[in-house]
Chain A
Amino acid sequence: MAPNPLANWEKIGNSFYRKIAVYDAIFEDDVELENYLVAGAPYGGAIALHRDETKPLRLRDGQGSRSTVDVHSCSGQRINRINWEQATIRGLGWSDKEELLIVSEDGTVRRYLGLDGEFTSFSLGNVSKSSSNESAMLIMHQGAEEYGVRACQFWSSGLVALLSNNQLIVVSKYDEPRPRLLAPCPEGEVSSWTLIPPAHTLSRSVEVLLAVDKAVFLVDTTEAEEKISQNGPFKHISVSPDGLSVALFTAEGKLWVVSNDFQSEPSEYDSKSRVPPSTVTWCGKDAVILAWEDEIHLVGLNGVASKYYYDGRVHVIPEFDGVRLITNDTCEFLHKVAGVTEEIFRLGSSSPASVLLDSVDQLEKKSPRADENIQRIRSSLPSAVDTCIKAAALEYDGFWQKRLLKAASFGKSVLDLYNSDEFVEMTEKLRVLKSLRDYRIGLPLTYEQYLRLTPDGLIERLINRHEYLLAIRISEYLQIPADRVYVHWASQKVKVSTVDDEAVCKLIVQRLDGKPGISFEAIAQAAYNEGRSHLATQLLNHEPRGGKQVPLLLNMEEDELALDKAIESGDDDLVNYVLLHLKSKLPLASFFRLINTRPMASALVETAARGEDTELLKDLFYQDDRPIDGANVLLTEALRESDRARQAEKLQLAARLLSDSKEPTVVLNQKLVTEASQLLKAQEALDKDLADNSEYLGLSLNETIYRLIRAGYSKRAQKIQSEFKMPEKTFWWLRLRALVAKRDWGELEEMAKIKKSPIGWEPFYNEILGAGNTKLASGFVPKCTHLPPAERIEMWVKCGMIVKAGEEAQKAKDLNTLELLRTKASGPAATEIERMINQLRPRK
């Protein structure tokens, strides 16, 4: 007999709510739920129970003397028991990934990864460091530790803790927890509070609603804004799952629902109870649950309510699409009936989908009405099929799921064209959901929750429960990667198995052979954590990704192997990391030995050391017998040195380092380094004699001489030239340039009197011309005897001496050029040129 689809429907306002019994016989009778704090993970996840220490305890043998947190599945199976020996628990909550978070009074947060009892912990008190503000620092210091955590609230990826001095601390992600302080709150008695998750706030970071005395404040990182200033105190405050509405419960026993900006007129419901409910939470986004010990009011937005009564204490676990109600006997899910479901099942419904469902009945009865029905809804048949598929998803009961799918199937068989993908996918999803809802698994996911959790998240949860087989089956069924499952299985195997390393390794490798994406590194890490380092090494050999092996190898003190693997990976960062690690760990000699045979490693060490640790470099080069490199380090140091004496010392040291070798390049380098010291000494002397402050020190040799000449100290310059054996050519060039720069035409004229110049006379012409003295420049033209006449003509022209140029052309008997020159010439020069042309022109 088909169960009545309308069973447990309650009409509240315009919409229906229904309560579905999911599991029964949840807890043993001796678990007195009224004495427990209960927190449930979202998406039908595990439930954590902790005995409320404020409640009186009935003394029983042994049990109860120790504080524990029990983790159960929704069907009541105990998954784990965590012994708690820390300070009093002030917050119990879950993240989206089903990590249990326990916050103790002293501000310690423990985050349990998986459900196995492995945890990491951090403190809410360490915020003190991040604050430069002195007053803030003070508060934070005393913050979590001194004032103590009063309560905690959680959202999908973070938590907010309320301290007993009304301060709020936020941790927005658990991977790298950074406790931050929200803006300081007004003093007063906090009667209730709640958080608004980041997804629903304007600032995109978490905000808190705090009911203090008669008012309600919205607190974010910068300020506490008063939203309601009277009518308090509010005993409860709760934000709807979509963040649009806020429910407030007043001391007079009234429930108000307002929009999130607090501007709208509140809708009111009078509970007529003087005792405030133990829980006020939302059921979906359109109704609020008020829960007392054994009574529940479901209040719609328009103030209409429906009441449920229980035998014992009932706990409410909110989901985004409804609430789970947990009692000793049952686990129920209370939610709003979706539009499609209502459309089909509502009494007297005549919607196409409802008709379609009916025709399946008719079909079974072999009644012609089946066909009549179809004809009647023909035009809206596709949407009717869609509706049936959607309704099947939302149905919890197998019978009606089948029934609805059958209707959909029948409907689409009549249609000519219909894309069945959705239908097929739905059957797959429903199969998965059914297997999960089994009480042995205990994951009562609704369809909507499944969509939000994603198949990956689902596999994660199965792994947490060690349901490997089901996880693999589902992975295969849904065609999603199963590597995580395998890795987790293998890690677990390593942890629990007692057989010897070889056998375990063999077993694991055998099982995982040919499965892509397996991270042997993770398994090896698990083995290492269990203290089975031999097994870990063995497993690591199967890891294809070199880079992944490195950190573990370092942990295992397999230094050389780690370095090799890092080099193999080609990742310089990894190599640097290993080197950094090894340098601090090994004695210098063995460190050098290690890198010596590995060029990449030594190159990286050298590069890194060049910037920061020249001593290391010197040691390295000394050990390697590389005198030039060693001397170069000293040179670099000398360059950085500002103290003259120490600089000289460094240079001397460098020269000494180089003096041992007979190799020609080394010998040359040694000479030049010595020369450098000499030059510096000579320059010091110059500075003392000629300049007020240091003018010559640090210049190059050429520059020194150039400046000396320019300043008129030719004698000194000559002395330096001979002292440093500067080539004559260079010296002449320097002299020329310096004199030109000095505009010392007289001296240049003197130079011109010398017979021969080692650099020729052309540079003189060019430089002097460049300086604008055409007259002097022209003096050098006749001296450039080796140049062809054409160039000399050009030179004359550049000096503006057309006549001279003409003479040159005449000498060369170059008539064409003369013609050209004539065009440039003017005045007497022109006649002169004319005369030359006439002379040259062959007489006819």
Chain B
Amino acid sequence: MAPFSGSDADHFKDKARRDLLTLLEGVRGKKNLVISQELAGPVGLFVKFSELQDYGVHRVFYLENANIDSSQRNVVFLVRGEKARHVRIVADIYIERHQDELTFILSTEQIKRLQNNGNVEHEFSIFFSPRRTLVGNAVLEEAGITGDVNIAELPLLFMPLEQDVLSLELDDSFSDLYLHKDPGCIFHAAKALMGIQQRHGYFPRIVGKGDNARRLTDLLLRMRKELDAEESSGLADPSARGLLPSSNVESLIIIDRDVDFGTALLTQLTYEGLIDEYVGIKNNQADVDTSIVGPASAPQPQESSKSPQQHGPPKRKVQLDASDQLFNQLRDANFAIVGDILNKVARRLENEYETRHTAKTTGELREFVNRLPTYQLEHQSLRTHTNLAEEIMRLTRSETFRKTLEVQQNNAAGADSTYQHETIEELIARDVPLKTVLRLLCLESCMSGGLRPRDLENFKRQIVQAYGHQHLLTFWALEKMELLQPRSPATTMLLPTSGAQAGSKTNYGYLRKNLRLVIEEVSEKDPNDISYVYSGFAPLSVRLVQCVLQKSYMVSLIKGGTPAAALNNASTMSPGWLGFEDVVKSARGATFSIVQKGDDKAVRARQTLSGNSGTKTVYVFFLGGITFTEIAALRFIAAQEAPKRKIVICTTSIISGDRMMEAAIEKGSFGPADTK
């Protein structure tokens, strides 16, 4: 429990890398690695393919493709233990290899048989991540292969996306939580947070909002108790017994996504957010058409074996993380000013490059040459981002984008939504992507407590006709997720006074006013409030975080004082939700603030030892996903709190409105071609 050096991000990255490589080392000789698609990306975050090669990995296959060849004797599977289906595929492949005469195959997955089967005796290893599950065991047992494969665990929990962003990278967490009501990812999250607690000591305080957040906290408390129980009898020495509240962590703030679906449904307007909206960012990488950014400059050896056959236009993977300085500068800025920044950087680069002419002495020249690679790198990055920004600019100029944004802004501002319906109908008729339309409807439903039943019926009919009748299932799913609902008579009047029925729905009307979600005059260039990220709308989820961390700022903001002055004397005097209990009640779900106490004596002893100085870390956990725009807003707060506090953003996955819709949208169709 001694204060650990190094950030959490580095720690987890390093640990994951070491764990995986150790496991691979344990399998002797060359091996083929079969990895489930959802793990491939995250694994790429902490280990390079060349490193895998060093550890004897010959080729990498996707489990879903089930096309491994028998070139290597050893076959290593890396799958999520929670997914019984994946385990089943593994079992299938295994049986396929070993007992050709067996006709029963457990699942219907189509697995191509290999022609040169049976000549090589295969050794199978299965690495379960993050843990080996009982269900997985049962599946393997059912298939009768438990005894014949090597089984190991690879505890991958938090994957560091950035120094300040830890993600569990559970792509399905959103649909699991809200559609299937499967709390698996809460357990997962609790385990991951326990990992942090074991590193730093207990979170002295857990503040949270939302029912799932409450569940997560209960699990954390429970796990702590269990850990204490497991913690063996340390006898005389108290320091060896149990963990203590951490001295360098201030608190954990858990925000349940369903407290604020609305924000995530809005089109993101920061640079990174827009890239995510239009290109899609996965595990810090975006697949961009080469027609936009040009083909990959450096040849990527061996990558071809990793990526499956690509259809459509050639894509190039663009790495989007803090290693790209320019991107780091751009990512959290409102898109409106990205052009300016790019121009400035272009000019600076130009100037610096010109210094070669002014270089007189050989020393100066040498210095210039030394810096040349940096220039080239920067130049390349500049080109990429200029092209990307131009492409996004083109999209944002389109009429549909304009109309969509207009509807969104009106909804966010609380204008009467029925006026928007005509626009939405037009968008449907013009066959804009279903996701876009549904986002608008869901946004309206979230912001104003549901659609009028007649309107909802109307839209349902139109959408089903326009996009196919299979979307009856889509609507059903959206309703189940409480994203798109008919307005019930009780909720028609979402008035500020209706605190009694708080908890079932987030009352945006009330919160918009009391937390000042809409700030018209925010400057995008030189922002003074987080609302810059949506050009005037502050994400509720992040406002809630501010209610905990920046109380005086919030107070002055609401009262209309000068926020800048209030920031300076922001204090930690009143912990938890104190001062905002009533306001916060109008957001959906449980509200809580729990203090984790440790052994008093030990705490005091440590306090005297370590003093009370230094930066304290606040962990903000978004359960159910966070958008890049919210990350930007949190970073904005972090910058304001800088020397005093450090904010580490944790989440189950990165989410966007489109991804939320995709969770609900039925993918099948009645057409004959798609049924298989």
Q: Could you tell me if A570 and B215 are in contact, using CB atoms closer than 8 angstroms?
A: yes
Lowest 7 A-B CB distances belong to which pairs? A698-B671, A481-B232, A639-B668, A676-B469, A733-B429, A572-B184, A603-B181
C-alpha spacing A640/B674, complex, angstroms = 8
Residues of A within 8 A of B81 (CB): 573
Residues of B within 8 A of A724 (CB): 465
> B675 touching A639 by the CB < 8 A rule?
yes
B104-134 interface code vs A (CB 8 A; 1 in, 0 out): 0001000000000111011000000001011
A371 contacts across to B, CB distance below 8 A: none
CA distance A647 to B233 in the complex (A): 64
Interface 9-residue window, one of A49-57, A98-106, A186-194, A666-674: A666-674
| B181 in contact with A600 (CB, 8 Å) | yes
Chain A residue with minimal CB distance to B216? A570
**Contacting residues, chain B, for A476 (C-beta < 8 A):** 235
A572 contacts B183, C-beta separation under 8 Å: yes
Residues of B within 8 A of A573 (CB): 81-82, 131, 133-135, 184, 187
Check if A690 is an interface residue, CB within 8 A of chain B.
no
For A203, A576, A694, A706, the residue with the greatest tally of chain B CB atoms inside 10 Å of its CB is A576
Binds B, one of A1-9, A126-134, A161-169, A373-381: A126-134
Interface residues of B in 464-509 (CB under 8 A from A): 464-470, 472-473, 476, 486
Provide the bound-state CA to CA distance between A673 and B469, in Å.
7
Q: How far is the CA of A140 from the CA of B43 in the complex (A)?
A: 38
Asked if A570 and B183 make an inter-chain contact with CB atoms under 8 angstroms apart, the answer reads yes
What residues of A have a CB within 8 angstroms of the CB of B14 in the complex? Answer: none
Pick 8 A–B contacts, CB within 8 A, sort by A: A134-B118, A176-B151, A516-B241, A577-B135, A639-B668, A672-B461, A697-B670, A700-B465
B181-220 near A? 1/0 per residue, CB < 8 Å: 1111011001000000000000000000000000100110
B644 on the A face (CB < 8 A): no
B222 at the interface (CB under 8 A from A): yes
Within 8 Å of chain A (Cβ to Cβ): is B340?
Answer: no
Chain A: minimal CB distance from B75 (Å)? 12
Instruction: Flag the segment in A236-244, A331-339, A630-638 that touches B.
Output: A630-638
Residues of chain A within 8 A (CB-CB) of B294 are none
Beta-carbon contact of A126 and B147 below 8 Å = yes
Residues in B whose Cβ lies below 8 Å from that of A730: 425, 428-429, 462, 465-466
**A690-728 with Cβ < 8 A to chain B:** 694, 697-703, 706, 724, 726-727
Docked complex Cα distance between A54 and B184 (Å): 60
CA distance A250 to B235 in the complex (A): 57
Contact assessment for B472 and A632 in the assembled complex, using a CB-CB cutoff below 8 Å? yes
Chain A residues in 8 Å Cβ range of B107: 612
Binding site for A on B (CB under 8 A): 28, 81-82, 84-85, 97-99, 107, 117-119, 121-122, 131, 133-135, 138, 144-148, 150-151, 176, 180-184, 186-187, 190, 215, 218-219, 222, 225-226, 228-237, 240-241, 399, 425-426, 428-431, 453, 457, 460-462, 464-470, 472-473, 476, 486, 666, 668-676
**Given A476-B235, A482-B233, A577 contacting B138 (CB threshold 8 A):** yes
Q: Is A515 an interface residue (CB 8 A)?
A: yes
Give the complex CA separation of A654 and B231 in angstroms: 55
17 additional A-B pairs beyond A546-B222, A573-B134, beta carbons within 8 Å, are A129-B145, A132-B117, A134-B118, A136-B121, A480-B232, A481-B232, A516-B233, A544-B226, A573-B131, A606-B180, A639-B670, A640-B675, A668-B457, A697-B672, A702-B431, A702-B466, A730-B465
* Structural contact, B672 and A607, CB atoms closer than 8 A: no
Give the residue name and chain of the A residue nearest to B88 (CB).
Answer: A612
B121, B229, B466, B467: which contacts A545 (Cβ < 8 A)? Answer: B229
- Could you say which residues of chain B place their CB within 8 Å of the CB of A641? 675
What residues on A are CB-neighbors of B98 within 8 Å?
Answer: 129-132
Q: What residues of chain B lie closer than 8 Å to A176, measured between beta carbons?
A: 146-147, 151
* Closest-CB distance, B623 to chain A (whole angstroms): 13
Cβ of A729 under 8 Å from chain B: yes
**Is A628 on the interface with B (CB-CB < 8 A)?**
yes
Q: Which of A109-164 contact B (CB under 8 A)?
A: 126, 129-134, 136
A177 to B146, CA, bound (A): 10
Q: Is the CB of B232 within 8 A of A178?
A: no
Residues of chain B lying within 8 A (CB to CB) of residue A727: 462
Residues of B within 8 A of A676 (CB): 464, 469, 472, 670
Query: Residues of A with Cβ closer than 8 Å to B?
Result: 126, 129-134, 136, 176-178, 203-205, 221, 475-476, 479-483, 515-518, 544-547, 569-574, 576-577, 580, 599-600, 603-604, 606-608, 611-612, 628-629, 632, 635-636, 638-642, 644, 647, 664-665, 668-669, 672-673, 675-676, 679-680, 694, 697-703, 706, 724, 726-727, 729-730, 733-734, 737, 759, 766
CB atoms of A481 and B135 under 8 A apart: no
Q: Are A132 and B148 in contact (CB under 8 A)?
A: no
Whether A679 and B182, one on each chain, are in contact in the complex, defined by CB atoms closer than 8 angstroms, is no
Our pick among A133, A480, A576, A729 for the contact of B121 (Cβ within 8 Å) is: A133
A545 touches B399 (CB 8 A): no
Question: In whole Å, how far is B397's beta carbon from the nearest beta carbon of chain A?
Answer: 13
Contact B464 A672 (CB under 8 A): yes
Q: How far is the CA of A479 from the CA of B234 in the complex (A)?
A: 7
Given A516-B231, A577-B134, CB of A675 within 8 Å of CB of B183: no
Partner of A479, one of B235, B399, B429, B473: B235
B477 (CB) vs chain A CBs: closest residue: A632
Q: With a CB–CB cut-off of 8 A, which chain A residues contact B134?
A: 573-574, 576-577
Known: A570-B186, A673-B472. A642 touches B465 (CB 8 A): no
Question: Could you tell me the distance between the alpha carbons of A580 and B146 in the complex, rounded to whole angstroms?
Answer: 18
Q: Are B121 and A733 in contact (CB under 8 A)?
A: no
B673 touching A635, Cβ below 8 Å = no
Asked whether, in the complex, the Cβ of B466 is within 8 Å of the Cβ of A699, the reply is no
Docked Cα-Cα span, A698 to B673, in Å, equals: 9
* Chain B residues, CB < 8 A from A518: 229
Whether A481 contacts B234 in the complex (CB less than 8 A), given A580-B135, A642-B672, A697-B671, comes out as yes
